[in-house]
Amino acid sequence: MPAEYLVSKVWPQDRATLAKVDALLAQEGIERDANLDYTCAIVDDDLNVIGTGSCFGNTLRCLAVSSEHQGEGLMNKLITHLIEVEYERGNLKLFVYTKTTAAKFFRDLGFHEIARVDGTLSFLENRPDGFPGYLRRLSSSRRPGTAGAVVMNANPFTLGHRHLVEVAASACDTLHLFVVSEDASLVPFDVRMRLVREGVADLGNVVVHESGPYIISSATFPSYFLKDDVAVNEGHARLDIAVFCRIAAELGITRRFVGEEPASQVTGVYNRVMCEELPHAGIECVVVPRLEVDGSVVSASTVRCALQTGDLDTVRRLVPESTYRFFASDEAEPVLARIRAACDVCHY
């Protein structure tokens, strides 16, 4: 009769157990993710870690069971425990990224696949109507004529973002502008969304959307089961594209506009993969040259650096008036305090 194993929290200061967690993950070809806020483990009578799992936000990550104990229901125990932890935190909408070979296991446990990159990873959620419901809500904003799309973080909204939106909006009847909803940026989502809406309010054919949890930021994309940085960046891009293609089909989008980013390797990979993959779904990828001011490209990181040092003159040259008004007001003080306290505002 199999032993009755318990699932226990692993505290961050318990280095001995974490080392055993890392060893088990390594056996399964997984490296412990840098973005984790809860880890649990199952240990045997000799205190060997034979199963482990973790969370970050409302995502389940880094799940592994020793090959010697597979088939004993330990993975089910781990996932049940993590779901209970998430529910206690108030996270009822849960997501999991896993290898495609393990996707069926999660579907059997009640998760529903949103998208996959064949041979690499699957993206699933625990609600049967989560992504389909999001698509239905988007469909109400579908309009006659040609449709394009822009996806942006806007951390914060700059003249460069405005330029991209203007170029895209002039090339189609309706432009769907998606603002990444995840609060993984120095400028909080509610502020980013407000500044985007104010910054494009005069463009009548632009429809602004929250991305919800379905357009994934680099801060929360899981990298623990991909072999290197290039694989991580390509995997992230391909998953983003797989999700986006379903959104595009719902809204009749046939062009996606992206800003040129020659200095960023990550964005360069994204743009390359989009240019390769989107045409297969009947979507043209249009790379728009960056806006320059005084001989330099406008970037959100430059604006954040200026905000950190209190250089509002530079900020004013690089952002729309609505963005400047916000950062020059007392209302912006909590955001400015966060930026001033950050160690690296240029690449955050």
Which parts of the chain register pLDDT below 50?
1, 218-220, 224-227, 348
Q: Angle at which helices 189-199 and 159-169 pack, to 10 degrees?
A: 50
Between CA 24 and CA 82, with CA 117 as vertex, the angle to 5 degrees is 40
Q: Which domains does the chain have, with CATH numbers?
A: 7-92 (3.40.630.30), 133-291 (3.40.50.620)
pLDDT value at residue 235: 72
The pLDDT value given to residue 144: 96
pLDDT the model gives residue 77: 92
Using one digit for the tens of pLDDT, what is the confidence trace for 47-74?
999 999 999 888 898 888 998 998 898 9
Query: Taking Cα atoms as reference points, which of 19, 49, 50 lies closest to residue 32?
Result: 19
Structure tokens at 103: 């996707």
| pTM for the structure as a whole | 0.86
Tokens (6 digits) for 170: 């002039």
How many whole angstroms separate alpha carbon 253 and alpha carbon 176?
A: 8
| pLDDT for the residue 183 | 73
User: What's the CA angle centered on 164, arms 162 and 168, to 5 degrees?
Assistant: 115
Q: What is the 3-state secondary structure (H, E, C) of 294-313?
A: CCEECCHHHHHHHHHHCCHH
Mapped onto helix, strand or coil, the DSSP state of residue 215 is coil
CA angle 279, 282, 285 (to 5 degrees): 45
Tokens found for residue 93: 């909408």
**Closest by CA position to 58, among listed 22, 91, 13, 100:** 91
What was the pLDDT predicted at 2? 53
